[in-house]
């Protein structure tokens, strides 16, 4: 066997070591900064993340809220687009106890749209022929909910962005930071209350630190928050599509 010259051996070993070092660095030898390219809130304490998220919500003008919500023993499924402020309102769909209907609020005016079966069931019991005939005239029409009706306060709450978010977004118990993840393709950091028993909030690590997902305490629902500040059309229906109901409205 003919030995290589010492100088050639040294050069070969050096080249191999240099290449190996490059491979090791490329495979994670150097730690990647998890906050690179983010808005920086991931470096903050849970309390400060929550504070910044709240501030972002207070400054927002619109949001889309979807998911499930449990309140007063009743489960609602909702998909609402909301605008804040005194001239705000909302539009979208709400379901509970087998009933599905649409809500629309423009300013103080609240409208409800549902199919004939929904209206026929409002009297309670098995609907008569006259009930069914009257309900058919309301099918897929907007019915204005009187402001004095007991349903007005209950239903309008689902269209009030400021009131709804104020009541929903609070966590309970000691705050802590949780896992990083994604919601709708957006990187997030989770903050929890009471080790998760007090609810959790996934806050965006990209752009404005809006809350993107809420899990309420006690299994009281999971909600997605999207389309922050995204403009959408909100106007009262045409008069030809509005019908006066003239009876008390319920959602039982």
Does 47 map to a domain?
yes
Q: What is the CA radius of gyration of the chain?
A: 28
Q: Considering only residues 180 and 138, tell me which one the structure prediction assigns the higher pLDDT.
A: 180
Does 229 map to a domain?
yes
Please tell me the distance from the alpha carbon of residue 155 to that of residue 15, in angstroms, as a whole number.
73
- Could you tell me the residue range of the domain that residue 218 belongs to? 41-243
Question: What's the structural domain count of the chain?
Answer: 1
Q: Considering only residues 123 and 207, tell me which one the structure prediction assigns the higher pLDDT.
A: 207
* Other Cβ atoms closer than 10 A to 140: 10
pTM of the full structure = 0.79
pLDDT value, residue 20: 45
CATH number at residue 140: 2.50.20.20
Pair 42, 189: CB distance under 8 Å: yes
Pair 59, 229: CB distance under 8 Å: no
Does 163 map to a domain?
yes
Distance of CA 106 to the CA centre of its chain: 21
CA atoms within a 13 Å half-sphere pointing along the CA-CB vector of 228: 21
Tokens of 5: 């010259």
Does 30 map to a domain?
no
pLDDT value, residue 251: 52
Does 3 map to a domain?
no
Q: Which has the minimum average pLDDT: 45-49, 60-64, 87-91?
A: 87-91
The strands making up 186-193's β-sheet, listed across from edge to edge, are 175-183, 186-193, 200-204, 211-215, 222-226, 62-71, 74-83, 89-96, 99-106, 109-114, 141-144, 242-243
Does 28 map to a domain?
no
Does 201 map to a domain?
yes
Does 26 map to a domain?
no
Please tell me the distance from the alpha carbon of residue 65 to that of residue 89, in angstroms, as a whole number.
13
Please tell me the distance from the alpha carbon of residue 97 to that of residue 100, in angstroms, as a whole number.
8
Residue pLDDT, tens place only, 169-216: 989 999 999 999 999 999 999 999 999 999 999 999 999 999 999 999
């Amino acid at each position: 066997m003919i030995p290589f010259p010492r100088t050639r051996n040294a050069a070969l070993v050096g080249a191999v070591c240099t290449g190996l070092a490059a491979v090791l660095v490329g495979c994670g030898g150097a730690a990647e900064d998890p906050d690179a390219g983010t808005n920086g809130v991931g470096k903050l304490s849970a309390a400060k993340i929550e504070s910044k998220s709240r501030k972002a919500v207070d400054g927002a003008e619109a949001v889309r809220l979807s998911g499930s919500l449990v309140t007063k023993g009743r489960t609602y499924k909702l998909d609402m687009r909301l605008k804040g402020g005194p001239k705000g309102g909302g539009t979208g769909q709400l379901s509970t106890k087998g009933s599905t209907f649409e809500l629309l609020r423009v300013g103080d005016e609240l409208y409800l749209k549902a199919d004939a079966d929904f209206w026929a069931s409002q009297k309670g019991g098995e609907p008569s022929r006259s009930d069914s005939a009257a309900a058919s005239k309301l099918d897929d029409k907007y019915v204005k909910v009187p402001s004095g009706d007991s349903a007005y306060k209950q239903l309008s709450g689902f269209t009030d962005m400021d009131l709804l978010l104020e009541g929903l977004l609070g966590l309970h118990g000691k705050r802590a930071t949780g896992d990083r993840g994604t919601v709708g393709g957006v990187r997030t950091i989770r903050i929890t209350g009471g080790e998760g028993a007090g609810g959790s909030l996934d806050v965006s690590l990209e752009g404005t630190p809006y809350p993107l997902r809420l899990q309420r305490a006690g299994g009281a629902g999971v909600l997605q928050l999207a389309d922050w500040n995204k403009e959408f059309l909100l106007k009262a229906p045409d008069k030809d599509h509005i019908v006066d109901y003239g009876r008390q409205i319920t959602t039982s």
